[in-house]
Amino acid sequence: MFDHIAHRYDLMNTVMTFGQHQNLRRAAARLAQPPRNGLALDLATGTGDFGAALREVEPTCRVVGVDFALEMMGVGRVKYDGSITFAAGDMLQLPISSSQFDCTVNGFVLRNVTDVRQAFAEMYRVLKSGGRAVSLEITSPRTPVWRSIFGLYFDHAMPRIGGWLSGDAEAYRYLPQSVHAFLAPEQVAELMRAVGFRDVAVRRVMLGTMAVYVGTK
């Protein structure tokens, strides 16, 4: 599905977030605290925007982006022209030795994996001691009135706009369905703690429509 919409994915992120998706990644990248000359991992990297945000925060940081959506990474290779290393891989079974990375990030992927705990376990495994994991994900607002208003856009208007711009209506019907079916932020945080992360924190941003999860190995 993601390969099929690769050519319009960046445009749709801009439209859906009213141009804020890159600012969200930059803020999350700062929380990851990539060190000078460090090594960072962007999981389900897609077209590489989160990896690029890490390099904006710390230009000396080397970034590896992992995904199995090859067309998405193809777009990223052209866009970032060698500044990010792209590699094929499954974030539930990373082809990476343990304790290699100073930080790991991912954006808008947790609700798409088949085993969220295993995803966090792999992040924990490949991080060095003291390394940070940061995940950015869409969530439902808590305030009832705002939840209803947001639902009108997210459940009804956005799928129509996404289908029109991308040519794949099903992909953008799937998006709100996946958010509604996903775990509550507090449950996600508990899974991070369960695999060993400490100092786990959840930050709601964008009027409560996005959650940022942070944990330290």
Q: Where are the alpha helices (DSSP H) in the chain?
A: 6-16, 21-32, 49-57, 70-80, 116-126, 144-151, 158-166, 169-181, 185-194
* The two three-digit tokens of residue 11, written as one number: 């445009």
DSSP assignment string, 146-165? HHHHHHIIIIIIHHHHHHHH
* Span 100-140, pLDDT tens digits: 999 999 999 999 999 999 999 999 999 999 999 999 999 98
Domain boundaries defined on the chain: 6-140+183-216
Cα–Cα distance for residue pair 54/62, rounded to 1 Å: 9
Between CA 108 and CA 24 the distance in angstroms is: 11
Banded pLDDT at 1 (limits 50, 70, 90): low
* Residue 143, pLDDT score: 78
pLDDT digits (tens, 9 = 90+) for 154-212: 777 777 776 776 676 676 676 777 788 899 999 999 999 999 999 999 999 988 889 99
- For residue 91, how many other CB atoms are within 10 A of its CB? 23
Q: Are 172 and 154 in contact (CB under 8 A)?
A: no
Amino acid at 182: F
The closest alpha carbon to 127, from 28, 32, 24, 29, belongs to: 32
Mean residue pLDDT of the chain comes to 88
Candidates 186, 43, 193, 165; CA nearest to 112 is 43
Q: Choose the CATH number for 6-140+183-216 among 3.40.190.10, 1.10.10.10, 3.40.50.150, 3.40.50.970.
A: 3.40.50.150
Residue 80: what pLDDT?
93
**Residue 56: per-residue pLDDT:** 96
